[in-house]
Structure 1
Amino acid sequence: MSGFLYYLVAFAVVLGILVVVHEFGHYVAARWAGVKVLRFSVGFGRPLVTRRWGRDGTEWALAAFPLGGYVKMLDEREAEVAPDELHRSFNRQPVARRMVIVAAGPAANFVLAILLYWGLFCYGSEEFRPILGTPVLSSPAAAAGLDNGELVLRVAGEKVQTWQEMRWLLLQKAVDHDAVDLELLNPRQEVVVRRLDLSVVRQSGWEGDALERLGLRLYRPRLPPIIGSVSARSAAEAAGLRAGDEILDIDGEPIESWADLVRVVRQSAGQTLHFEVLRDGLRQGLSVQPSAVEEQGKDVGRIGAAVRDAGQTREQLMVTVRYDPLSALGKALVETWDKSTFTLVMIGRMITGEVSWRNLSGPVTIADYAGQSAKLGVDYYLKFLALVSISLGVLNLLPIPILDGGHLLYYLVEIIKRGPVSERTMEIGQQIGLTFLIMLMAFAFYNDINRLFSG
């Protein structure tokens, strides 16, 4: 499968799952409330595939424009309703039931995220330990005195087990704190505390990677350039490389570590390289042509060889995090809540100008992330799906006409004034909301295109 097609399929699967789950939330709530559902559509526009199913003959449709979907219910405002079915019309339901039906869509997205996180926490995942590499010069990390090989034990007093947990806590603390205390275990097995300045994250408008802004790097051990294994039908096998070969130089450039080897190979996709190797005490020359592999829109070289003793190094650098079912549920709830509130805070600060609008992503960037996470593995892909599901749930609850949150706002007004909002007011609100969303999508597309050309 080509790189473009792979990313497209990964994006389509994410989008399809999220749309179906969101609209199914509306559907289930409508059935619970006794409202007749006329159509369940994945996508907008002309239906490509339709089928009637269920007691009410609901039409299930797959439409031409896939970015979204809808559940069409019996409603007097849209068409004439038979007298014997008036009680099943959406507009005849008490306001509390209408609110439940509308809120059920975003709620389904949050439930999906909770279930995904719960399953992942129960199954367990292998992740990098929070071991720091040499910090970037003149960065907050360097100013704090952080050093190569230090293991982060706690961030602001909260225990962390993985690099991602550390990253997430730093992001949360950067919202309202100028600095944070890191408790570290250095290579001499001494516990030390360093104070890390976080203000640079906010000063940059949250643009770019926050850890890069802070100068934090993941620890990379210095491994000797000795091949541990060679993949079948790979460039390395075709060139005659074997397990145990030590790479001395490539095109005359000395290779002192496995990182040097990876760097040269990645930069040489499709080029022929001369490897000088040491095999059984004898020097030998081999010609190797790295295969071109697409990565983040660019071709990089791969030869299909793994480093020796990677297993032992893996144990030092990686940790498997797993929870019992009850603990996993609690952690899944906290994870979903934290990411929901963080998303809401970021949206609010984007409106006030504290967060750059260049952080806004559209379908192209989401598709790119979907493809990248799918390549990393099922657990990364499911985490990405959970995160986007949370974002969709939060976005739909915003009090913008045309979104679910806008309808909930109308119903709150109806409760307060003890009467429905006028049709004219709702019509104006829909136009304003639609205009706002079109502008938002246009800006997101602009950011996507800008990222493609700027890298």
Structure 2
Amino acid sequence: MVTVISFIVAILILVSLHEFGHYIVARWCGVKVLRFSVGFGKPFYRKQRGDTEWCLAPIPLGGYVKMVDTREGNVAEADLPYAFDKQPPKKRIAIVAAGPLTNLLLAIVLYGISFSFGVTEIKPYIGTVVPGTIAERAGFQTGDFIERVNGEPVKDWGSAQTAIVLNLDGGKVAVQVKDETGKAAERIIDAAGTPQAAEVAKNNGFIGLTASRSSDKIGRVAKDSPAEKAGLQVDDQVVAVNGVPTPTWLAWSEIVRNSPGQKLTLTYIRNGATHQTELRPNSVETPDRNRIIGQIGVAAKPDEAWQQKITHEYRPSVPEAFKMGWDKTVEYSVLTVKFFGKLLIGQASLNHISGPLTIADVAGKSASMGAQAYLEFLALVSISLGVLNLLPIPVLDGGHLVFYTIEWLRGRPLSERIQMLGIRIGIAAMLMLMLLAFFNDITRLFG
């Protein structure tokens, strides 16, 4: 329910304000608006106010503003001066651009509100390198501090991770770091075109690195799990499995993963004393359904000293927060444009494209994390919506902007045949994009 409600709220906010941007500028430009609809399909709610019918429709994947337009049917003589297509190109450009620009403005506001409550920055330190991943093969080490990716400086963990993933399919990625001793080093990721790179896109950009670092002690024991039944408790430290020393959490947890249903003898330390217990890990299917792994129902205790080292918390003033919101919106807008550019030249994986199912999933997760996480999720989706609509693809706002700008510059519109051809190509491209997004969603969420 949290996922469904948070997704519907997100759509209502983002789509309504996008369309309201079109609506309000259309009214300012003297265009008559017949309908304002949030959602597609037959409306289940209607309210007439002045010349405009306000509607809610059942398919929450968009919305539209219907204006008087002679291209869409007969228009009364009295309404001709208020028809959209009878306005000069400058007014039509303003009306069309208003929707995407409203989304970008909304992102600045949402980020500004969120940052006003406080900012938690994660410094670009590598806390954990997962065995068997792209990151391990590239030579990353625990404690590395990422300074640059392909020569470009990074500010925090998020920007470092984004820069790596964005360049992953374009060839070798050179990551300049300082190791734990302060010595400069370079880690080279060479995974372009490999199945592992495709898996990164499916796993939301995870290449095997996390900023967090776990201690070797148990931080949580699940109720009715094999670990609880075996008597394991929070702060216990497993030091051996079946007599084989396991000095780290990863060492013994890997044995457990590879031993589904098998009887294991765990040696652990509690309050300085050594104890032993026996258990059988549950057999659990991995999300990709490729193997069965063992799980005993425990989670590692975070390394609190490390967390303090990599975390920077502060509360900016309101003007500073909104300046940060502006900077973040510009940064993500540029990144989104770069991504689409790389997609066109084959240097970005199509697996990175997400659709409404993934958006709904992330909406639920961010809402469960709190108001700030949800506000920043809304801001990020609003940026994506704004930039996507500005792309020069017919049927999108950006495509119409191209048509009207050409008309403005040459003094007459493109022929109807050329415009219709462009619209057909645009519709085909968007249908393919939507099908790909749904396919990726289903693959990502359901294996």
Q: Which residue, 364, 381, 406 being the options, matches 1:413? A: 406
Displacement of 1:288 in angstroms is 12
Segment drifting more, 317-326 vs 296-305: 296-305
Match of 2:186? 195
Paired with 1:318 and 1:234, the residues of 2 have a C-alpha distance of 34
1:118-133 counterparts in 2 under 5 A? 118-132=112-126, 133=128
Paired with 2:359 and 2:431, the residues of 1 have a C-alpha distance of 18
Paired residue total: 441
1:327-338 counterparts in 2 under 5 A? 327-338=320-331
Match of 2:21? 25
Question: What secondary structure sits across from 1:103 in the alignment?
Answer: helix
Letter in 1 for 2:17: V
Letter in 2 for 1:168: T
CA contact (8 A) 1:129 1:163 kept: yes
CA contact (8 A) 1:44 1:66 kept: yes
- Structure 2 CA distance for partners of 1:202 and 1:334, relative to 1, 3 Å: farther
Displacement of 1:340 in angstroms is 1.9
CA contact (8 A) 2:134 2:207 kept: yes
Displacement of 1:406 in angstroms is 1.8
CA contact (8 A) 1:40 1:72 kept: yes
1:359 paired to 2:352? yes
Displacement of 1:102 in angstroms is 0.5
Q: Which residue, 43, 46, 49 being the options, matches 1:47? A: 43
- Structure 2 CA distance for partners of 1:385 and 1:439, relative to 1, 3 Å: same
Displacement of 1:431 in angstroms is 3.1
Segment drifting more, 420-429 vs 339-348: 420-429
Match of 1:218? 210
Question: What secondary structure sits across from 2:71 in the alignment?
Answer: coil
Segment drifting more, 32-41 vs 241-250: 241-250
Paired with 2:237 and 2:133, the residues of 1 have a C-alpha distance of 36
Displacement of 1:173 in angstroms is 6.9
- Structure 2 CA distance for partners of 1:178 and 1:334, relative to 1, 3 Å: farther
Match of 1:163? 157
Paired with 1:390 and 1:80, the residues of 2 have a C-alpha distance of 37
1:34 paired to 2:24? no
CA contact (8 A) 2:212 2:307 kept: no
Segment drifting more, 102-111 vs 204-213: 204-213
Question: What secondary structure sits across from 2:393 in the alignment?
Answer: coil
Segment drifting more, 106-115 vs 393-402: 393-402
Question: What secondary structure sits across from 1:323 in the alignment?
Answer: coil
Displacement of 1:410 in angstroms is 1.8
Displacement of 1:99 in angstroms is 0.7
1:273-288 counterparts in 2 under 5 A? none
CA contact (8 A) 2:147 2:176 kept: yes
Q: Which residue, 385, 391, 398 being the options, matches 2:391? A: 398
Displacement of 1:384 in angstroms is 2.7
* Cα deviation code 1:366-424 (max 9, x no counterpart): 33333333344433333332222222212211222221112112212322332234445
- Structure 2 CA distance for partners of 1:180 and 1:47, relative to 1, 3 Å: same
CA contact (8 A) 1:42 1:66 kept: yes
CA contact (8 A) 1:225 1:256 kept: no
Letter in 2 for 1:195: E
Paired with 1:177 and 1:325, the residues of 2 have a C-alpha distance of 41
CA contact (8 A) 1:141 1:214 kept: no
CA contact (8 A) 1:225 1:257 kept: no
Question: What secondary structure sits across from 2:382 in the alignment?
Answer: helix
> Structure 1 stretches of 5 or more lacking a match?
none
Letter in 1 for 2:156: T
* Cα deviation code 1:249-280 (max 9, x no counterpart): 899998866667988999999x9999987767
Segment drifting more, 388-397 vs 153-162: 153-162
CA contact (8 A) 1:121 1:323 kept: yes
Match of 2:313? 320
Paired with 2:383 and 2:119, the residues of 1 have a C-alpha distance of 21
1:450 paired to 2:443? yes
Normalised TM-score (structure 1): 0.75
Q: Which residue, 82, 103, 110 being the options, matches 2:104? A: 110
Paired with 2:212 and 2:41, the residues of 1 have a C-alpha distance of 51
Displacement of 1:433 in angstroms is 2.3
Segment drifting more, 148-157 vs 247-256: 247-256
Question: What secondary structure sits across from 1:361 in the alignment?
Answer: coil
Normalised TM-score (structure 2): 0.77
Match of 1:151? 145
> Structure 2 stretches of 5 or more lacking a match?
none
1:298-313 counterparts in 2 under 5 A? 307=301, 311-313=304-306
- Structure 2 CA distance for partners of 1:80 and 1:301, relative to 1, 3 Å: farther
Displacement of 1:156 in angstroms is 7.2
1:10 paired to 2:6? yes
Displacement of 1:338 in angstroms is 2.8
- Structure 2 CA distance for partners of 1:114 and 1:301, relative to 1, 3 Å: farther
Paired with 1:288 and 1:206, the residues of 2 have a C-alpha distance of 34
Paired with 1:438 and 1:138, the residues of 2 have a C-alpha distance of 34
CA contact (8 A) 2:115 2:315 kept: yes
Paired with 2:29 and 2:288, the residues of 1 have a C-alpha distance of 47
CA contact (8 A) 1:135 1:142 kept: no
CA contact (8 A) 1:247 1:276 kept: yes
* Cα deviation code 1:303-332 (max 9, x no counterpart): 69884x865553234322543344433433
CA contact (8 A) 2:170 2:348 kept: no
- Structure 2 CA distance for partners of 1:206 and 1:105, relative to 1, 3 Å: farther
Displacement of 1:97 in angstroms is 0.8
Question: What secondary structure sits across from 2:380 in the alignment?
Answer: helix
Question: What secondary structure sits across from 1:164 in the alignment?
Answer: helix
- Structure 2 CA distance for partners of 1:9 and 1:256, relative to 1, 3 Å: farther
